[in-house]
Amino acid sequence: MLTLPLVLPPTVVGFLLLLMFGKNGPLGKLLMAIGMTVIFSWPATVIAAAVVAFPLMYRTVRSAFEQIDQNIINAARTLGVSEWKIFWKITIPLSWPGVAAGTILAFARALGDFGATLMIGGNIPGKTLTIPAAIFFAAEGGEMRKALIWVMLIFVISLIVMTLMNYWTDYQSKMITSNGRK
Amino acid sequence: MGLLVDIQKKLPGFTLDIKFETGMDTLGLLGASGSGKSMTLRCIAGIDKPDQGRIVLNGRTLFDSQKGINLPCQKRKLGYLFQNYALFPNMTVEENIGFGIGDKKRADRLAIIKEQVKMIKLEGLEKRYPNQLSGGQQQRVALARALAIEPEALLLDEPFSALDDYLRSHMVKQLSETLADYRGVTLFVTHNMNEVYSICHKLVVLALGKIEAQGGTVEVFRSPPSLVAAQLTGCKNFSRAKYISPFDLQALDWGINLKTRSEIPQHIKWVGIRAHTIEMSLEEKEGNEFQCWLNSASETPSRMTVYLDLETETGGKGNHQIQWEITKQMWSELKNKSQPWKLRINPEALIVV
């Protein structure tokens, strides 16, 4: 269920979000009662990006947690250490490469989302227009120079992300040999 | 004062059903892998939950299915030494040792860490990370970490299985010394009979979740009460046996009659003889003599294992009937002697079950 947005087409995710946050949707009504409209505002783009990116974060972090030797956690428990402290002092430090990887992957996915964002955010310039949408509409309108500038920007960001990912893979393979993983 | 364990738990393949009580001595849990001995420790520590039963430590109920008591791991105050040590890889030696006593005042904590580091003789390595230590050093850190919280009981789960032979014998001695200073219940789980013999005064032998033998280590090794217990304590030779008279039996598989020193019950099923207790027969008419032929022999670095045929000479074909462990010196004297050889089984060394 939590990984559903990963396999659904982005427009379908966007459509479902529209149903939920729309004027007649359950969450939309709730927000309306406190005087908020989400649809076609910048928070809508944030929600769309978060929902499509969440499964990547969730899956990566979860598998990092699962790779920790359970005996290490059990050892901490027998020492009388609280679950809270175990989480922050052991689970997170031992799985932080996974958390970092999840963050990077989720960031890249959120940055590139087109379909879901367009469905509930629209493409209001200066308000809800994201870079992928801007590229699409610039190219559609024949403004190739403008589209190219946006494309270059995405390129630079993606290259940085890729470099970080490679760095992380190296780091992780080092962690596996030295860090009490299975 | 002591530990009472009376638990049942269904496991894949068998049901763990054990009951024992122990005081301040070191109690060994001996069993083959998959006999439920590690699960027993995990249940006592609160890592796994028994289906039903009771665990009481020094009058404190840790688990009682009838009263609905199941203290969490954190509240049990037990030191647990894991097979792979389970040190925190992101912490230094001193951080590992101090992790369980974080609620103490800083000065007290540092004093305890210092004392523990001294006890395990790792002064100067306090700032190292676990992956910068040898296996033996890691084990000592794990032990210090467990002892730092001043546990009411110490649970050792196959602590030597990850060490090489040289280190093992060294660490067995060191652990015995540490345990002698420790005031509390100690449970030592292993599948190695040598370790159990040298470390534990009392012993519980486990097979498929059931207790096969229980008592003083020396007594259990001398007269194991069941076939499985005899096997687990290292007896290599068994024959089906038939009762003849209170001090005589017939070993059916070996085709010989044997005398025993202690009186035997009528319903005996097996007779066993440890591989190192067979003697060369020097004089005639000592009793319990038998003649045998060499089947084959295999060499270990320190000793010889000789496989013998009892009834007929097979010349290495067919299965041997008795396994005999001797020194290399004995072997060099023996191998040129004409066969059949005359050997003797000491009546005191017979295991009858």
Split at pLDDT 50, 70, 90, the class of A97 is confident
CA angle A117, A121, A125 (to 5 degrees): 105
The pLDDT value recorded for residue A52 is 93
pLDDT of residue B284: 64
Q: Do A81 and B102 touch (CB under 8 A)?
A: yes
Residue A177 scores a pLDDT above 60: no
* A78 neighbourhood in chain B, CB within 8 Å: 45-47, 73-74, 76, 78-80, 146
Q: Is the pLDDT reported for residue B174 higher than 90?
A: no
pLDDT of A180 above 50: no
d(CA B91, CA B97): 9
Give the pLDDT score at B161. 84
A chain contacts of residue B47, beta-carbon cutoff 8 Å: 74, 77-78
Q: Which two tokens stand for residue A156?
A: 């630079």
Per-residue confidence band for B263, with pLDDT thresholds at 50, 70 and 90: confident
In chain A, the percentage of residues whose pLDDT exceeds 70 is: 94
Q: Residue A170 pLDDT more than 80?
A: no
> pLDDT per residue over B290-312, tens digit each?
888 888 889 888 889 998 888 76
Long-range CB pairs of A15-23 (<8 Å, 24+ gap) are: A15/A119, A17/A44, A17/A47, A17/A48, A17/A51, A17/A116, A17/A119, A17/A120, A18/A119, A18/A120, A21/A47, A21/A120
Which chain B residues have any C-beta within 8 angstroms of a chain A C-beta? 45-47, 72-80, 82-84, 86-90, 99-100, 102, 129-131, 142, 145-146, 149
pTM: 0.81
B327: closest CA of chain A, how far (Å): 43
**pLDDT, greater one: B316 or B290:** B290
Res B281: pLDDT: 76
Write out pLDDT tens, residues B118-164.
988 899 999 999 999 998 899 999 999 999 999 999 999 998 887 88
| Residues of chain A above pLDDT 90, percent | 55
> Which pLDDT score is estimated for B312?
67
Residues of chain A positioned with their CB less than 8 A from the CB of B74:
77-78, 80-82
Q: Render pLDDT for A6-64 as a digit per residue (tens, 0 to 9).
A: 889 999 999 999 999 988 889 888 888 888 888 899 999 999 999 999 999 999 999 99
Per-residue model confidence (pLDDT) at position A181: 44
Q: Which 8-state DSSP code applies to residue A181?
A: B
Provide the chain A residues 81-110 that lie in CB contact (below 8 A) with chain B: 81-82, 85, 89-90, 93-94
User: Do B88 and A75 count as a contact with CB atoms less than 8 A apart?
Assistant: yes
Determine the pLDDT at residue B314: 64
Average pLDDT, chain B: 89
pLDDT at residue number B286:
65
**Are A90 and B90 an interchain contact pair (Cβ–Cβ within 8 Å)?**
yes
What are the residue ranges of helices labelled H in chain B? 37-45, 73-76, 93-98, 106-119, 135-148, 165-181, 193-199, 217-222, 227-232, 328-334
- Over residues B321-346, the mean pLDDT reads 86
Out of B77, B83, B89, the one facing A180 most closely (by C-beta) is B89
Question: What confidence score (pLDDT) does residue A172 get?
Answer: 64
Residues A71, B77: C-beta atoms closer than 8 Å: no
Residue B167 to chain A, least CA–CA distance (Å): 22
**From CA B100, how far away is CA B318, in angstroms rounded?**
59
* Interchain pair B131, A75: CB under 8 A: no
pLDDT at B66: 94
Please report the pLDDT score of residue A71 as a whole number: 94
B130 vs B125: CA distance, rounded Å: 10
Q: Which pLDDT does position A179 carry in this prediction? A: 47
Per residue in B34-49, pLDDT tens? 899 999 999 999 999 9
Distance CA B274, CA B345 (A): 10
**How many Cβ contacts (< 8 angstroms) between chains A and B?**
74
- pLDDT, average across residues B225-233: 91
pLDDT per position as a tens digit, A102-127: 888 899 899 989 999 999 998 888 88
pLDDT of residue B316: 61
Whether complex ipTM tops 0.90:
no
pLDDT in tens, B78-123: 999 999 999 999 999 999 999 999 888 999 999 999 999 998 889 9
Which two tokens mark B63? 């688990």
How close is the nearest chain B Cα to the Cα of A165, in Å?
A: 22
Q: Which of B77, B82, B129 sits opposite A80 (nearest CB)?
A: B77
Angstrom distances, CA of residue B265 to CA of B255, B302, B352: 20, 38, 9
pLDDT at res. A126: 86
Shortest CA gap B4–chain A (Å): 19
User: Running DSSP on this structure, what letter comes out for residue A68?
Assistant: B
Between strands B26-31 and B185-190, the pairing is parallel
Asked if residue A182 has pLDDT above 50, the reply is no
